[in-house]
Amino acid sequence: MQIPVDLAETLAIVVDEGTLDAAARRLHVTPSAVSQRIKALEQHVGRVLLVRSKPVRATEAGQAVVRLARQLALLAHDTARELGGEDQAVTSVPLAVNADSLATWFLPPLARLSERHPVVFDLHRDDQDFTAGLLESGTVMAAVTSQGAPVAGCTSTTLGTLRYEPVATPAFVARWFAAGVDAASLAAAPLVDFDRRDDIQRAWLARQGVDPAAPPRHYVPASHDFATAVRLGLGWAMLPRLQSQQALDAGELMLLGGGAVEVPLHWQQWNLRSALLDAVAAELIAEARRVLVPGGTGAAPR
């Protein structure tokens, strides 16, 4: 079946924008024209491709068409670069990444890439369960994930691990752990969780013989603000050494002991020959292997 490229691109834009109206503004046409394009594409393939909810979402068949549209756009970019040199339109590369990688090591290699390539990055922050789905649906071209087994149609490369250690301010330790860090004090001391899916603190508590549900907890769902909350003494938490080292050196935080939780990270990307996507992968993999540690077992990354 030959799928019209312009109609596939329209579907991808509708999914990106979330509504027909927003897609129409981006395409500089009317919402009615966008709707007619989607209907024509659905009639062409004989499948429902779009659920017109708020926001809209692609059906399983629609996800396949969106993935095709993104792959064709990536290949078109590579071809234009080969034929036309540097003078071509900027291409958007959607990537998925966990919050702590985004807050620590992920952005510098993207900045270096943007200096050498006409590219912008559409970053989707989520945990590993959802990044796999984002790859399968075609929402992103590549992802940092704790899932080592390749998603269908993707390749997987080991990056290294984020090592999380329990830390708190000296004042917090003096208040809540004056008699030592033990099961009783850990059950009573407030902790900071990223969100209700964050299981790093729970994994560490279970290793200490503490009911993970016992401690009172703050929820701070942003990686930078999460670390700030710990430095301000709201509670203790597991922070990556990449994020806590400066505060530890300055005496603003201290380690609680009890070992670390090491989270393995992997780079998964579409199994597609693309000079641009390969350049993105090479830069990110090199950075990860420079700053992360090898090996790792434990919880899912934030």
Tens of pLDDT, residues 232-286? 999 999 999 999 999 999 999 999 999 999 999 999 999 988 889 999 999 999 9
Domain-embedded: residue 120 = no
The predicted structure's pLDDT at residue 82: 76
Over range 52-75, report the average pLDDT: 90
Does residue 284 belong to any structural domain of this protein?
no
**Which of the pair, 157 or 133, is modelled with greater confidence?**
157
Question: If you count DSSP H runs as helices and E runs as strands, how many of each does the chain have, helices first?
Answer: 13, 11
Domain at 3, CATH number: 1.10.10.10
> What are 4's two structure tokens?
């019209």
The bridge status of strand 91-97 relative to strand 119-125 is: parallel
Task: Say whether pLDDT at 129 is over 70.
Answer: no
**Domain of 178?**
162-262
For 241-259, the DSSP string reads HHHHHHHHHTTS-EE--S-
Question: Which CATH number fits the domain that encloses residue 169?
Answer: 3.40.190.10
Identify whether 287 is part of a domain: no
Higher pLDDT, 130 or 26: 26
In a domain, 89, yes or no: no
Task: Please count the structural domains in the chain.
Answer: 2
Any domain includes 184: yes
- Average pLDDT across the chain, whole number: 91
Is residue 160 scored above 90 in pLDDT?
Answer: yes
d(CA 266, CA 285): 9
pLDDT at 8 over 70: yes
The answer, yes or no, to whether residue 122 has pLDDT greater than 60, is yes
Q: What is the pLDDT of residue 245?
A: 95
Of 296, 284, 302, 300, nearest to 146 by C-alpha is 300
- Residue-level pLDDT at 3: 92
Question: How are beta strands 119-125 and 142-145 bridged, if at all?
Answer: unpaired
The verdict on residue 4 lying in a domain is yes
Residue 79: predicted pLDDT: 83
Residue 198 in any domain: the answer is: yes
| Position 98, amino acid | N
Predicted confidence (pLDDT) per residue in 137-146, tens digit: 788 999 999 8
Is 247 contained in some domain?
yes
